[in-house]
Amino acid sequence: MESSFGITPIVTITGCVVVAIRDDLDDQGVVTLQDQLVEEVARRKARGVVIDISSLEIVDTFAGRMLGAMAQMARMMNARTIVVGMRPAVAMTLVELGMTLEGVETALNADRAVNLILNS
């Protein structure tokens, strides 16, 4: 099965690694994305990670665990993680699933997230 990672953007802006999670990421794509994210945080000595989930219409337990794992990986590398673009339905689903996403902060958009990271 071909990984859909090839078109998932990871960029670095002002010392922050920014990644957009797409709705169509398969399991292998997620693993590849996590590996690439950790490598980029280390290579750039990033202070923070911004994960944009605005394209996610729904979040299941797999997606929730994926977000939590990415945040833990970044935290172990001394980078603060902020999730942006969360839709109200996604927030409600996460609560209904009992997923607290410990260690994951949220912001309305990437600009606010980067400002939070840079001003901490």
pLDDT at 7: 52
The count of other CB atoms within 10 Å of the CB of residue 108 is 10
Put residue 16 in one of left, alpha, beta given phi > 0 → left and psi -120 to 50 → alpha. beta
Distance CA 90, CA 48 (A): 23
Distance CA 104, CA 50 (A): 10
Q: Which residue has the higher pLDDT, 41 or 60?
A: 41
Indicate the average pLDDT of the chain.
86
- 93-107 average pLDDT score: 86
Distance CA 2, CA 78 (A): 32
Could you tell me the pTM of the whole model? 0.86
pLDDT band at residue 107 under the 50/70/90 scheme? very high
